[in-house]
């Protein structure tokens, strides 16, 4: 059994907001690492630098849950039964076999068995979701409602997944099912008049399993996914190329959006 503290980092706050970061982890267990090829070991599909971008969040007294293991071990934002979230479109699975570019991440002779997928789900996927559920319950008990902000980032050009260049800010609410419209409108209000960033609501990315599973506005749980184009805060040629100027602007917009998401005077439908 793996201790939860080795699977995720949690900062507990008292405001009715949880920020989840399921794809920032870079840890790979040795028994999985030995089967990854150089493409897999590059971890190219990591949500690079999100903790740094959201470095203001602890001061807001919100709860933050940060994954430590790579999405190549198990994808925390996929359903446990591996059902596709976007039928008919290219997606990656619960335990990915390839990158977003369609490149294999394992050596050719390695087979990912159902037993191995079940093992990873039990060891790494379930403890994360147990924690999310516990924190939602804790904060909802305190406040009567709670918001969940699922934080992601992705390369802005991925031909296998979408045409052209992705908008900078991609908000998803499962086509309006995971968050009350009034709360969503507050979140995107600043971006509506922005000349710096483009944005879309429920475009290519409508929210993954976390948003869709936990967002229940009729029960006082409002969930939004933000899929941020990495070009809005870094140079995508390398995860090392953090861009201070870009990141400062993006960070201020995200902070303002989260503060609006926290406003108490919005009907909890």
- Indicate the domain borders of the chain: 4-261
The confidence score (pLDDT) of residue 268 equals 46
CB atoms closer than 10 angstroms to residue 11 = 13
The confidence score (pLDDT) of residue 266 equals 56
Give domain 4-261's CATH architecture.
3-Layer(aba) Sandwich (3.40)
The pLDDT tens digits of the residues spanning 189-218 come to: 878 777 789 999 999 899 999 999 999 999
Is the CB of residue 160 less than 8 Å from the CB of residue 89? no
Inform me whether the pLDDT recorded for 158 exceeds 60. yes
Inform me whether the pLDDT recorded for 265 exceeds 60. no
Inform me whether the pLDDT recorded for 267 exceeds 60. no
Inform me whether the pLDDT recorded for 115 exceeds 50. yes
Q: Reduced to 3 states, what is the DSSP secondary structure of residue 151?
A: strand
CA angle 90, 166, 205 (to 5 degrees): 50
> Is the pTM above the cut of 0.85?
yes
Is the CB of residue 136 less than 8 Å from the CB of residue 221? yes
């Amino acid at each position: 059994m793996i201790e939860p503290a080795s699977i995720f980092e949690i900062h507990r706050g008292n405001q009715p907001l949880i920020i989840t970061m399921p794809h920032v982890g870079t840890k790979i267990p040795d028994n999985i690492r030995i089967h990854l090829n150089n493409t897999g070991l590059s971890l190219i599909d990591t949500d690079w630098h999100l903790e740094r971008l959201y470095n203001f969040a602890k001061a807001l007294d919100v709860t933050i849950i940060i994954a430590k293991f790579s999405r190549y071990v198990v994808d925390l934002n996929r359903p446990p039964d591996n059902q596709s979230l976007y039928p008919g479109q290219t997606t990656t699975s619960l335990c990915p076999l390839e990158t977003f570019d369609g490149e294999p991440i394992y050596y050719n002779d390695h087979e990912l068995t159902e037993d191995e997928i079940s093992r990873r789900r039990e060891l790494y996927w379930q403890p994360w979701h147990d924690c999310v559920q516990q924190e939602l319950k804790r904060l909802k008990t305190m406040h009567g409602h709670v918001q969940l902000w699922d934080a992601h980032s992705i390369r802005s050009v991925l031909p296998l997944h979408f045409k052209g260049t992705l908008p900078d800010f991609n908000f998803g609410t499962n086509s309006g099912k995971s968050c009350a419209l009034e709360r969503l409108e507050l979140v995107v209000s600043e971006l509506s008049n922005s000349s710096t960033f483009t944005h879309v609501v429920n475009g290519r990315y409508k929210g993954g399993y976390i948003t869709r599973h936990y967002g229940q506005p009729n029960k006082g749980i409002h969930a939004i996914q933000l899929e941020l184009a990495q070009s809005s805060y870094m140079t995508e040629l390398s995860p090392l190329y953090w861009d201070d100027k870009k990141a400062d602007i993006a960070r201020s917009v995200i902070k303002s959006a989260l503060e609006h998401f926290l406003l108490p005077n919005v009907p909890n439908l």
